[in-house]
Amino acid sequence: MKYTWLPLIALVAPPVQAVEADLAGILDLRYSVTDGIDSYVNGGLGKFRYNDGDQLSIAQAGLAGKLVWDNNLSLHAVANGYLDGVEDGLGLTEVYLKYRTLPSAGGLRQGLRLGIFYPAISLENNATAWSTPNTLTPSTMNSWVGEELRSTGLEYTAEWLGRFSGRPYDLKLQGSVFVRNDPAGAELSWHGWMQSSRQTLLHEKLPVQNMPARQTVLSKQAAFSDPFHEDDDRPGYTLSGEVKFPRKGLLQLGWFDNRAIPYQQTNGQYGWRTRFGWAGFRWKLPGRFSLSGQVMQGDTLMQKPSREDVVNNDYRSGWLALSWSAKPHRVTGRVEEFSVTDNDETWGDNNDEYGKAFTLAYRYQLQKNWFLLSEFNWLQSTRGGRMYENQPVDLVERQLQFASRYYF
């Protein structure tokens, strides 16, 4: 276009800094029947958030409030509550300030987030209060993100919107610097991967499993891990990129490193040097189908002050989901594979794990805001460390869940 873009519009509205308040929420009432062992949430080695048996629960009462100013600045706070017969809780999960520009003439939009927020990893948890719209339970990979990962810091985002320059794709690059996530990796090592919609509240501490090494080399470890603790005042970082083809799909690639000093310990909270890469995609297929998936692979290291390894684990988890939708119905099937490889020689702390999981979820939209969901979970895992608790090393856990979800 060769038009000169002269001033065209004068706003009639007075130039006041208006602020707009917005409140969104989710109420998930759930009935679940679980065939398994004591939940990891209580310090057990069960892979689900519910204990063996049936349970009526408020699986999630989430509120996401924001104040939005006209100058592209907004303040966000997300609170979640759980009344689930396992670990009831109420508190904040995220609080941050966000600034986002308008796109430039070339389509570049920049953004900053400052505060406490989820690292932008999950492709499943993209609804109000970090809920999963298509399933009741996120994959093992993203369940761990919800349990042990939270960034306290600054995140920068640059997006190039393709339509401004006639390109068929949008490009996003993101980088963050964060503190207060040094013990991340402890729970993944000690209870392994799990499949759970329970997010850790910012004030919560997580029980540490009772393996024999707690009496010996891990005697200084606190009984509860504080995943959002800072040990060494050394910030970690994330770097990630995403290519999005509007209405077709997206590809993502990222790297996380908390840069914790692994031989430091304060208040019984060790630094765990946790690093991983992740990749994911989402793609629309013909016939109302869409396919999505993510993989994560990394390692975590925790040492004695003498710098000898106490826990040295590699881990990986991946999921692939096929979803079919024709309003008001949506059916999603998901398969997963996960592992933890224990590379250290520590006695009484076997973290080796291998497992597979299958999830089948059905969502029915009853009204604009009201959804009914049902979900079946099947999770098979082999974990030598379960013998410390006199539990079977090879275990299949199953769960059937029915939920009413109200979003506003």
User: Per CB under 8 A, which of residues 80..119 are in contact with other proteins?
Assistant: 100, 102-105, 109, 118
Q: What is the dihedral of CA 35, 41, 42, 43, to 10 degrees?
A: 100
- Choose the stretch contacting other proteins; rule: CB under 8 A; options: 161-169, 191-199, 204-212, 345-353: 161-169
The single-letter code of the amino acid at 33 is V
**Using CB under 8 A, which of 37, 45, 64, 179 touches other proteins?**
64
Residue 23 as a binder of other proteins (CB under 8 A): the answer is no
The residue among 71 and 306 lying less far from other proteins, judged by its C-beta, is 71
Residues in contact with other proteins, shown as a per-residue x/- string from 389 to 408 under the rule CB under 8 A: ------------------x-
Residue 13 as a binder of other proteins (CB under 8 A): the answer is yes
Please tell me the number of Cα atoms within 13 Å of 396 on its side-chain side: 4
Give the position of tokens 């707009």.
Answer: 20
Residue 164 as a binder of other proteins (CB under 8 A): the answer is yes
At its nearest, how many Å lie between other proteins and the CB of residue 386? Answer: 33
At its nearest, how many Å lie between other proteins and the CB of residue 387? Answer: 39
How far is residue 111's CA from residue 126's CA, in Å, rounded to a whole number?
18
**Helix (H, G, I), strand (E, B), or coil: what is residue 135?**
coil
**Nearest residue to 300 (alpha-carbon basis) of 337, 267, 257:** 257
**Using CB under 8 A, which of 246, 285, 343, 387 touches other proteins?**
246
How far is residue 316's CA from residue 311's CA, in Å, rounded to a whole number?
16
At its nearest, how many Å lie between other proteins and the CB of residue 200? Answer: 16
Please tell me the number of Cα atoms within 13 Å of 288 on its side-chain side: 9
Residue 2 as a binder of other proteins (CB under 8 A): the answer is yes
How far is residue 378's CA from residue 34's CA, in Å, rounded to a whole number?
10
Give yes or no for a cis peptide into 14 (omega within 30° of 0). no
**Using CB under 8 A, which of 8, 14, 267, 286 touches other proteins?**
8
The residue among 161 and 184 lying less far from other proteins, judged by its C-beta, is 161
The residue among 125 and 195 lying less far from other proteins, judged by its C-beta, is 125
Residue 307 as a binder of other proteins (CB under 8 A): the answer is no
* Tokens of residue 158, six digits: 């640059």
How far is residue 272's CA from residue 95's CA, in Å, rounded to a whole number?
24
Provide the sign of the torsion angle of the four alpha carbons 397, 86, 79, 145, taken in this order. Answer: negative
At its nearest, how many Å lie between other proteins and the CB of residue 110? Answer: 12
Q: What is the dihedral of CA 138, 200, 125, 193, to 10 degrees?
A: -30
Name residues whose C-beta falls within 8 Å of residue 210's C-beta, 6 or more positions apart in sequence.
43, 388, 389
User: Per CB under 8 A, which of residues 326..355 are in contact with other proteins?
Assistant: 327, 330
The residue among 34 and 196 lying less far from other proteins, judged by its C-beta, is 196
The residue among 118 and 338 lying less far from other proteins, judged by its C-beta, is 118
User: Binders of other proteins: how many residues, by CB under 8 A?
Assistant: 50
Residue 368 as a binder of other proteins (CB under 8 A): the answer is yes
- Choose the stretch contacting other proteins; rule: CB under 8 A; options: 8-16, 259-267, 298-306, 345-353: 8-16
**Using CB under 8 A, which of 52, 73, 128, 400 touches other proteins?**
128
Whole-angstrom CA distances from 209 to 177, 195, 249 are 30, 17, 40
Name residues whose C-beta falls within 8 Å of residue 280's C-beta, 6 or more positions apart in sequence.
123, 251, 252, 292, 293, 294, 295
Element (H, E) at 394: strand 394-407
Can you give the binding site for other proteins, defined by CB under 8 A?
Answer: 1-13, 18, 20, 22, 24, 26, 64, 68, 70, 72, 100, 102-105, 109, 118, 120, 122, 125-130, 133-134, 161, 163-164, 170, 246-247, 325, 327, 330, 368, 407
